[in-house]
Amino acid sequence: MGYQSTQNLNVIVEKHASLVKKVACHLIARLPPSVQLDDLIQSGMIGLIEASKNFDATKG
């Protein structure tokens, strides 16, 4: 099911982007120096988009 409309997807991503950045900043200290913060944030944003697409409010 998920948030199929692009507008809804954008709203969800914008709403939670700061959380992705916060978690990435928290995790970066625990990862090897070869991992860059921008890459970690990008991966988190991709995960957020995928989760938004797959989210189904009817399943609780």
Q: Could you read off the pLDDT of 1-45 as tens digits, one per residue? A: 455 577 888 888 899 999 999 999 999 999 999 999 999 999 999
Mean pLDDT, rounded, for 43-48? 96
The count of domains in the chain is 1
The answer, yes or no, to whether residue 58 has pLDDT greater than 50, is: yes
- Determine which of 33-37, 46-50, 51-55 has the lowest per-residue pLDDT on average: 51-55
Q: Which helix (H) or strand (E) holds 20?
A: helix 6-28
pLDDT at residue number 4:
59
CB 41 within 8 A of CB 19: no
Q: Please indicate, yes or no, if residue 1 is contained in any of the structural domains.
A: no
- Domain membership of residue 15 as a residue range: 6-54
Asked if residue 28 belongs to a domain, the reply is yes
Which residues are CB-contacts of 55 (< 8 A; sequence separation ≥ 6)? 1, 2, 3
Structural domain includes residue 45: yes
Residue 48 lies in a domain: yes
